[in-house]
Amino acid sequence: MFEPKMMKLMQKVFSLHIYEDNDFSRKDYYQACGFKLEIGANISCRLGFGSSVWEAALGLCQYFEKEGIRFTDKKVIELGAGTGIVSILAALLGGDVTITDQPKLLNRIERNVSFNIPSSFKPQVKVRALRWGLDNSLFPSDYDYILCSDIMYFHYNIPLILETLLHLSNEKTVVYFASTMFYGQNVTREGHVTLSQYFQTELVCRYDVEDVNVYRMRLNTPTAVQHPNLQRRC
């Protein structure tokens, strides 16, 4: 069980503005698990929320470091990966990683992968479109780990995220789900309450100042799982 104590969230080491690059306006550098991570970012409305690193992503990276987590030979998928920082770290920690987000973000994620992953690791990393609730059936249900950070802040996405998690999980899957809890005027809190009806959920780490929680979740036992009556958006 997680024992509350003041945890300080990791920060970027430095940032460089870059020019004449259609994808990125700056590069941010982070240090985690002994790796230097180089992440292209772009503050642009056109790209939505996924064009820079969010606090919960840093919370998850720092949690991996604190716990000495390794993903060696494990099958990992990330939902709503944004820049891809969490998945890139999971790949460097040995995982066979599928990085997913909406189609418009994929080429930037590919570029961030190429900044960080040596070519010998590249077959371990795939970048794919996965729109929650729409593309689920294109993916299997045999992942060892599912990673999520700061993806639950709109009410209408809660049933879609739940549906996607239920599709991708089996009874052995571990979901690490990090969230900044105050987003969406408590949508995030409501979302975690909904997920906890289908997943055994444990708060494993908390960053008080940023209000970031890291949860570890496992699917409830088959007898306890009832498929939700999901209300889909048209």
Ligand X SMILES: C[S@@+](CC[C@H](N)C(=O)[O-])C[C@H]1O[C@@H](n2cnc3c(N)ncnc32)[C@H](O)[C@@H]1O
Q: Which of 40, 80, 95, 159 binds ligand X (CB under 6 A)?
A: 80
Nearest to 192 by CA among 212, 167, 210: 212
By beta-carbon proximity to ligand X, the closer residue of 181 and 220 is: 181
Strands annotated E in 19-159: 26-32, 35-41, 75-79, 96-101, 125-129, 145-149
Q: How far is the CB of 1 from ligand X (least distance, A)?
A: 25
Q: Which of 2, 44, 48, 70 binds ligand X (CB under 6 A)?
A: 48
Based on the shown chain and the rule CB under 6 A, indicate whether residue 53 belongs to the binding site for ligand X: yes
Judged on CB neighbours under 10 Å (0-12, 13-18, 19+), 11 is: exposed
Cβ atoms within 10 Å, residue 89: 25
- Position with the least CB separation from ligand X: 50
Q: Which of 102, 136, 194, 220 binds ligand X (CB under 6 A)?
A: 102
Give CA–CA dist 67/62, Å, rounded: 9
In contact, 96 and 75? CB cutoff 8 Å = yes
Based on the shown chain and the rule CB under 6 A, indicate whether residue 28 belongs to the binding site for ligand X: no
Based on the shown chain and the rule CB under 6 A, indicate whether residue 149 belongs to the binding site for ligand X: yes
Based on the shown chain and the rule CB under 6 A, indicate whether residue 54 belongs to the binding site for ligand X: yes
Phi, psi of 135 (to 5 degrees): -105, 10
Based on the shown chain and the rule CB under 6 A, indicate whether residue 95 belongs to the binding site for ligand X: no
Q: How far is the CB of 11 from ligand X (least distance, A)?
A: 14
DSSP-derived 3-state class of residue 146: strand
By beta-carbon proximity to ligand X, the closer residue of 82 and 159 is: 82
Based on the shown chain and the rule CB under 6 A, indicate whether residue 57 belongs to the binding site for ligand X: yes
- What residues make contact with ligand X under the rule CB under 6 A? 48-50, 53-54, 56-57, 80-83, 101-102, 105, 131-132, 149-151
